Structure 1
Amino acid sequence: MAAVYEERPSPLVPGAIVWRRTGAPGGPVLPDGCMDLLWVGGRLLVAGPDTRPHPCGDAPGGGARRAVSGLRFAPGAAPALLGVPAHELRDRRVDLADLWPDPQVRALAERMSAYEDPGAGLERLARGRAARSAPPDPLASRVAAGLRAGESVAAVAAVVGLGPRQLHRRSLDAFGYGPRTLGRVLRLQRALELVRRGLPQAEVAHRAGYADQAHLAREVRALAGTTPGAYAAAYAPAGSEAGPAGGS
C-alpha cells in the first residue's frame, strides 16, 4: 500500500497544519523550521526542528504502514506551548511524557483514543494547553517572515532591534537553530516548492535567492541529502510523512 498524505489548516491553532499519513512510509522528512505534535501507535510524541533529512516513520511506534497523525506548528510557535526551548529538541523525536508529567500525558493519550479523527484531538489538546501557557515569543513570527522573504540576517536583526548575539539566542529558543540556519532552511523550502512546480533549476536558483545553480545544488545536498533533479524525479503530489515540507 503506497503512502497517502493529507493535510488541512487548523481552525483552532493559528498557523498550524493538521496532517495524516497512512500506508508505507515515503521518502525522508526534510527540514522546514517547524515542530510537530504526533499521535503514533497510541503514543503522543514531539518532533523537534530538523537540520537534516529524517527517515520517514522513524518516530517511536511509527513502523511500516502505521497511520501517523500530526499537528505541525509554524516556526517558533511550539516552544511556549511545550514548555521547552526548541534547541533541546533539535533533530529529535521524543515522547511527550519526557516534557510533561507522565500522569498528565497518560490522561491525554486516553482522551486522544476517543477521537475518530486523531488530528482533531491534537488540535484540542494544543488549544487547551495554549490557554494555560505563555504566548509564543512575538519576535519569532517577525524573524521567520523576514527570513522567508529572503532578507539578510543583518536586515532582520535591524528590524527587530536586536544585536547579532541576542538574535541568535532568541532564535535558538524559538526555532532550534540560529537565524542563518533558519534562513537556509526556509530558502530550501522555497526552492523545493519551485522544483515541484516544474521550473528549470537555473530559474529555481534565481527565484529562491541562491547565487547560482551550483549553490542551489550544494544547499539541497547539505540540507535534504539529495539533488534538485533527484527530488524532482521522486516527488509525488501525495507527499511523504509530513508532506512536501517535511515535519515529523
Structure 2
Amino acid sequence: MGLEIESRPSDSPFVEAVWRSRSRGVDRMTSVAATTWDLVVCEQRGRIMVTVQGPESAASRAPVPEEAAFVGITFALGTSMPHLPIGGLVNGAVDIPDATRRTFWLKGSAWRLPDYDNAEAFVRRLVREEVLVSDPLVADVLRGAPPDLSARTVQRRFLAATGFTRGAVERIHRAREAAHLLHAGIPALDVVHRLGYFDQPHLARSLSRFIGRTATQLRTRDPAEPMSLTYKT
C-alpha cells in the first residue's frame, strides 16, 4: 500500500535523477518544495498522460491518481525548455497533448515515450534538437565561483534559468537536507548546528514551509500520505 518508489542517479549533466513509482491504495501525498522540474509519464487504466511538472516554492498536499504507474526524469537545476519558460512553471504544470502508448507531441515533433532505462537517450535527443538547454552560470554561482558579470546580470540569468533567486534555492536545499537528516534519526539540535539554522524554531519554520512536516513527523513514515523527497507525481 502507498507509493512504491525506485530512483537512480544519472551520468547526464542535464539530469539529476530518474525515478519510477506505482500508487496502490493512496490518494494524496505531501509534495515538498523542489528547485528542479520533472517530465512525468503516467499510465492509468490504459490512459497515458505526459506532464511537465514545475519547481515548487513551498510544500503542498497533492492528489495521487489511483492505481497508476509513473516514470519521471528530474532535470538538473539550471536546465530548461525555452519554449516553456521555467518561471511560468513554478508551482504549476503543463500537460503535453496527444500522448499514446508509444509517443507524445513536443514542440512540433513526435517523441517516443521515455522509460526508466532509456531516459538518457531521450534527453540526448532533447539537447541535440535544442529543446532542452542548460545555463552553466547556475552551477558556477552555487559553487561560489564568481562569474565575470555584473551582479544584476547574474541575478537575472539565475532567475531565468531556475525560476528562483539564489537565496530561495539555498533555503529549499537546506530544508530538504534537514528533512533527510531528521528522517535518518539525527537529533534536531544537531541538524540546527550542522546546517546553520539560528535555532530550533528557525528550523521548525523552514520545515513547515518547505517540507510540510515537523521534525517529529519526519522521524516516522506515514504510508497514508507519503512525501516526495526524491520524486514527484
TM over 0.5: same fold? yes
Return 27-36 or 5-14, whichever deviates more: 5-14
Amino acid at match of 2:74: R
Counterpart residue number, 1:20:
20
Which consecutive unaligned segments of at least 5 residues does structure 2 have?
Answer: 99-104
Distance 1:241 1:127, change over 3 A: farther
Other-structure match for 2:57? 51
Counterpart in the other structure of 1:192: 179
1:21, 1:240 within 8 Å by CA — same for their partners in 2?
no
Equivalent of 2:192, from 192, 205, 208?
205
Mark the runs of 5 or more structure 1 residues left unpaired by the alignment: 147-155
Q: Which amino acid aligns with 2:135?
A: D
Aligned-residue Cα RMSD (Å) equals 2.8
Change (3 A) 1:187 1:199: same
**Who is 1:38 aligned against?**
40
Distance in structure 2 (CA, Å) of the matches to 1:211 and 1:131: 46
Name the TM-score, length of structure 1 as normaliser.
0.76
Structure 2 counterpart of 1:174: 161
Aligned residue type for 1:124: A
1:131 CA displacement: 1.2
Other-structure match for 1:141: 139
Q: For the residues of structure 1 that align with 2:226 and 2:56, how far apart are their CA atoms?
A: 15
What TM-score does the superposition give when structure 2 sets the normalisation length? 0.81
Higher fraction of helix = 1
Superposed CA offset, 1:75-128 (max 9, x none): 112x1x454331110011211349943x52xx32xx32xx7xx22354332221
Change (3 A) 1:11 1:235: farther
1:119-167 superposed Cα distances (whole Å, 9 cap, x missing partner): 2354332221111217411101122344xxxxxxxxx7xx234444333
**Large movers: runs of 4+ above 6 Å:** none
Could you tell me whether the CA contact under 8 Å between 2:176 and 2:211 is conserved in 1? no
Aligned length: 219
Is the 8 Å Cα contact of residues 13 and 123 (structure 1) preserved in structure 2? Answer: no
What is the CA–CA distance in structure 1 between the aligned matches of 2:214 and 2:83, rounded to whole Å?
Answer: 36
SS of 2:57 mapped into structure 1: coil
